[in-house]
Amino acid sequence: MAPPTETPRDALTCRVLPQMVLSTGDASSKTAPPAPAPSSLDVAGRAKLRFEVRGNAIVTGGAGTLGFEAARALLEHGLSGLMIFDVIPAQASAKIAELQLEFPSAKIAFRQVDITDDVAVANGVEETASLFGSVDVLLCFAGVVGCQHALEMSAAQWRKTLDINTTGSFLVAQAVAKQMVTQSTGGSIVFTASISGHRVNYPQPQIAYNVSKAALLTLKSGLAAEWARYGIRVNSISPGYADTILNEGDGIAACRQVWAERNPLGRMAAPSELTGAVVLLASSAGTYMNGADIVVDGGQTLF
């Protein structure tokens, strides 16, 4: 096989770079200021409107603890339709039944999706739009965690972590953004980064995970700049250690103790404590938040 043809260096001087287009922000754009609340609303009505979540959402990793709590919070604030993307059908079916019982008027569905498969992701987003009529919110909670000394990490372990956490998040965001552009309605995309993207964890070594989450922070910023003109806001949350099944077991008891001792609040987060930031970014209250990252860690990153 012949080696790939390289572009001559002299030809690089003739290239034309694509350029971002920013919104004008005027009334005809996708980023105009929101209309004022109707004067007929009372105090309770204005308060409800402020954090109203409209339309339909896709939540990746929605059968996991954090994704499930976030999905429930969106439904509590008015979400009409919820599509859960996950790779564990048995776990998802029980969660969907629970939510459907609690929110009988909402449309709730599940699709088994490997977020590293761009074709499966595109088909899942298309099915969601067909079923619900639109996709207005995306929450990316699907991800993996691995703790391994860097000297001992295999190439396969490294690639798997970045493929799921970073590339998978991009593929879903890209597919959803294409749908939002087609709808011409804008929307909100929220990545789940981590305090691990802001600083090195201690005491456990987890270099691939940290890099994957730091990359998500840059991905969030780049997409927020590129997609704003379509009315698509892209933000992220950076949770600290949360009290989920990933942090259970006697084998990591010593690590849990270190995490708690190095946190000003002295404990890990309850999953419900992350939902406020999610609702803010997905709701009417977050219409001027774009490219932001909200750290929810009890002060873990202060030290």
- Distance in angstroms (rounded) separating the CA atoms of residues 301 and 259: 11
Our answer to whether residue 134 is catalytic in this structure is no
Q: Which of 209, 220, 238, 283 is catalytic?
A: 209
240, two tokens: 């600290």
Our answer to whether residue 209 is catalytic in this structure is yes
Please state whether 3 falls in left (phi above 0), alpha (psi between -120 and 50) or beta. beta
Q: Could you give the C-alpha distances from 167 to 105, 140, 213, 234, 260, in angstroms and in order? A: 34, 12, 11, 16, 31
Q: Which of 80, 134, 169, 194 is catalytic?
A: 194
Q: Which of 134, 188, 212, 213 is catalytic?
A: 213
The DSSP 8-state label assigned to residue 5 in this structure reads: P
The DSSP 8-state label assigned to residue 2 in this structure reads: P
Our answer to whether residue 194 is catalytic in this structure is yes
Picking from 135, 255, 171, 242, the residue whose alpha carbon sits closest to that of residue 206 is 255
Catalytically annotated residues: 194, 209, 213
